[in-house]
Amino acid sequence: MSKPQKSRSSSKSRPGFGFVVRRSLPSAAALLGLAIAIGTIAVLGGAPPWAPLAIGLVLLAVQFVTAPFIVQWLVPATVIEHDGSRYLTDHRVGEIVARRCRDAGIPLVRLGVVDDGMPNAFTFGRVRRDARMWLTRGLLERLDDDELDAVIAHEIGHVRNWDFAMMTVAMLVPLVLYSIFLSTRDSGDESASLAIAAYVAYLVSELFILALSRAREYGADHWSCQCTGNGDALASALIKISYGVGQEHAAAKQDAARLAGVGRDGKKELARRRARARRAESIRVLGIMEPRRAAATAHALSATPYAQRALAALRWEATNPWGALFEKFSTHPLVARRIAALQRSGLEGRPRHFDVLGQVATDPGDARNLSRRRFIRELALVVAPFVAGPVAFVTLGRSTFALGAALALAGMLLLALQHVRYPSGFGRVDEVTALLERGDAGPVAGIPVEVHGTVIGRQSPGYVLSPDLVIQDSSGFVPLRYCQPIPFAAEAFGLLRVPDYLGAPVVARGWYRRNPGPSIELRDVRTLDGSRRARAWRWTVGYVCSAALVIAGVIAIAVSAAA
């Protein structure tokens, strides 16, 4: 396993703000322009200019104060203490985080380890001084030193770039626009146009917020590559985390479990680790343990067939129209686009092993055209029931017969959609990462599969209400999405039953999709010993509701004919 890379000089890091500003400026300017335009219309229409702004500021202040505590409550973690200059642990993560904080010129963040096998990391807080970084046990188990260093530098980039404050202030615009909508929707005909304009502007502002969030992710990627000089390590880590490729390292797994299990009663253990860390620091003076610059870590995925599967996953994102559409409604850019952006950055450490621009974007024309045709066909299938029914009702004269025909038509189209989404014939998949090679995967058409493995955590790591499991086999892992039509049933499953499956060998059946990340929508999951079993019923309810529409339509047609 390679050692963490040495720090880049802080003098080289300052120009990174220019990239962040350039990436964020279009979305931020659009949000500001939208708020000014609607605010001006509201004032000209006689609305008090201070009321929506006051409501937005109050809500923003409440969010600013309470959000970090809510996150810590929903995602509990073991906090690794620090003395202001270093973390009181001999685990590699303490030294990496402290070094990257120094590089960024920020105080040591509050570091927490979430006891969950799903690899992930995120930062939250208010300002630089009270920033928190939560890392999962799965992240520490799966990433080597260079990859972990790159991910930590990315998270520190969010703190360095004031992303908490930036996103919090930006959220004021949707709050104000929605407040204007609420205050004018019941004010009579004279305010109806303003209410509609405010609501449309609110929806548009949410898209700009997502675009701004993606810009901040690009900025954090840029800082990580600039700070570590190892864009390949970040690319490798993103592929492992996003696509579930690779296995945990045995030694890292043991250390991560020990670190995550310290808890509040681990004061003596922390003291022993601090003493060992000080002894290690004194030895480093002799040059025995000085970290050395290592080669790019992309070789971790270079072995066939995992390299081919990672390449297939990147190709899907770079060429499939569904990926581009989903990204517009996501807080994070697609992995392929993130790697391609780093390749175009001109940075010395830009990725060279994962050549998205050269290998993935040059997808054969036939495959690209096939993806487009499949996209058009599936999109039409999704939209058709909600368009054909109303059109049939209007064109047939808005009678009882027209209503029946519209309901029956919509129901039959929904049944066709359900058949495409939930086909039968579940075939066993020997390795879950082999699913990444399915170029026909998408968010609509389901691929029926049966997978075997061990549940390593939740898809939202550490979140106590998350109902979605993560299953791992010898090749990697894939999320299992637990979807229920009854309100709060999924959350109840996450709170009460998911703990029974954690760490258990299971067999799961469901439908594999890309939306845009790989996942399986569960039909059922059971432990190998048969002691626990859970079913998801959304697919069944979809069929029942579609059939009910057809029956209702036939009844309406019969009533019309009898009359």
| Catalytically active residues, by annotation | 155
The partner residues of 454 in beta bridges, in order of sequence, read 472, 505
**Length of the chain measured in residues:** 563
Q: Name the residue with tokens 């990462």.
A: 433
Q: Is residue 43 within a helix (H) or strand (E), and if so which, with residue range?
A: helix 16-44
- Contact yes or no for 313/360 (Cβ under 8 A): no
List all residues 6 or more positions away from 478 whose beta carbon is below 8 Å from its beta carbon.
244, 432, 433, 435, 451, 470, 471, 512, 518, 519, 520
- Contact yes or no for 138/248 (Cβ under 8 A): yes
Using CA of residue 169, residue 174, residue 176, residue 179, what is the dihedral sign? negative
Distance CA 332, CA 340 (A): 14
List the Cα angle 485/491/492 in 5-degree steps. 100
- Contact yes or no for 188/272 (Cβ under 8 A): no
Q: How do 132-136 and 427-429 pair as beta strands?
A: unpaired
- Contact yes or no for 533/527 (Cβ under 8 A): yes
What is the biggest distance separating any 2 CA atoms in the chain, rounded to whole angstroms? 99
- Mark 500-539 as b/e (b = at least 16 C-beta within 10 Å): ebbebebbbbbbbbbebbbbbbbbebbbeeeeeebebebb
CB atoms within 10 A of CB 321: 17
List the Cα angle 60/62/67 in 5-degree steps. 95
Among left, alpha and beta (phi > 0; psi -120 to 50; other), residue 76 is beta
Is residue 561 exposed (0-12), middle (13-18) or buried (19+ Cβ within 10 Å)?
Answer: exposed
Nearest to 413 by CA among 367, 381, 445, 453: 381
CB atoms within 10 A of CB 254: 12
The partner residues of 427 in beta bridges, in order of sequence, read 449
- Mark 388-399 as b/e (b = at least 16 C-beta within 10 Å): ebeebbeeeeee
CB atoms within 10 A of CB 40: 11
Nearest to 478 by CA among 525, 423, 445, 444: 525
Nearest to 490 by CA among 481, 499, 478: 481
Distance CA 58, CA 72 (A): 22
Q: How do 447-458 and 477-481 pair as beta strands?
A: unpaired
Residue 516, classed as helix, strand or coil, is coil
